[in-house]
Amino acid sequence: MESTGANQATIQGLAELSQYLFAFVDSLALISAVELRIADIIHSHSGPVTLSQIASSIDDSPSVNISYLERLMRLLVQKRVFAVIRQSNAGETIYGLTHSTRLLLRDSKISLAPMILLQKSFMSSWYYFSQCVKEGVSGFKKAHGCEIWEYASQNAEFNKSFNKAMAYDSRIISEAVISGYKDGFTSIGSLVDVGGGFGEMAAQIVKSYPNIKAINYDLPHVIMTAPPHDGVSHLGGDMFESIPNAEAVFLKWTLHDWSDEDCIRILKNCRKAIPEKTGKLIIVESVLQPDGNGRYNETDLEFDLTMLLVLYGKERTEVEWKKLLEEGGFPSYKIIQIPATQSIIEAYPC
């Protein structure tokens, strides 16, 4: 009996570890589907399609391997990325979109496709994670020879891909931020979005609150390629040196890129940029639940390792946020839940 129990435990352990071992297959299969534009192809037919219809619509490939494609679709159907609708009269499988798949449409205003494609640039960094643990270095630097911001300044294609992914992320989360913080924006006359990339988040805020004068502030090589937005002024600079003055400073997915020491430097500059009595800081970031029971806790922990590997950054608990804010000159704060993986942290200098 003991031997049977031990064998069952071993089999269960093998099954669980195998899932972790091959989890990368799910990510790469998803990336491949986006590269092949499978979701776009199904969407363009205005309804479910056969495998042969998908194959004939794949760009720049006159001889698609149907067997390879079928096996890719089989996995993605199992993962509920795509759906099998029915069998055709000829016995062919008919594939359709799911609610999740619609976020893969590359030409849609709301899309995860740019973020998914960006992950290819980070994959090689993971090969060095054990060395990162031993040496306290960046996996991205190990893989690419320099830190990510230097790499972006030297590589126009990566810079474009990175900031496009951030812009699309802003489109996705902007509705949750604007609806969840509507009372917070009404009293603001001017706002600077620090690390705002192409200015998409600032543009969405101004669109809903045209009374706000917004500055999109980022590194010069980012601002050089940022598209114009009504009501938004682009300004290049370094947040570690200074931040433009405004009634409010906005930081979305910026502080999790940096170590505690760097965050404190940024926060102190934010404090200098706003009025002492009426100014405020608006942070959009994840707040980890220390008990591990948060709705998105597993995703947050995966982001945490990614931030560490690529940027020396981290996701933080409320206790960690409180400590950072106090040391950065913001002794008062409150956390506002919004319908997103992130929360709004509103902080004040007094």
- Lay out the sheet containing 280-285: strands in order across: 232-236, 213-218, 190-194, 248-252, 280-285, 343-348, 332-337
CA distance 97 to 49: 10
Q: How many Cβ atoms sit within 10 Å of the Cβ of residue 325?
A: 22
Nearest to 148 by CA among 172, 183, 124: 124
Q: How many Cβ atoms sit within 10 Å of the Cβ of residue 44?
A: 12
Residue 59 CA to its chain's centroid (Å): 27
Radius of gyration for the alpha carbons in the chain, expressed in angstroms and rounded? 23
CA distance 343 to 350: 21
DSSP secondary structure letter of residue 277: T
β-strands 280-285, 332-337 pairing = unpaired
The answer to whether 345 and 319 are in contact (CB under 8 A) is no
Residue 171: its H or E element: helix 156-180
E-strand ranges in the chain read 49-50, 82-87, 93-97, 190-194, 213-218, 232-236, 248-252, 280-285, 287-288, 316-317, 332-337, 343-348
Single out the catalytic residue among 144, 229, 234, 256. 256
The answer to whether 258 and 226 are in contact (CB under 8 A) is no
CA distance 122 to 254: 18
Q: At what angle do helices 2-21 and 23-35 cross, to 10 degrees?
A: 30
Tell me whether residue 256 is one of the annotated catalytic residues.
yes
Residues recognised as catalytic: 256
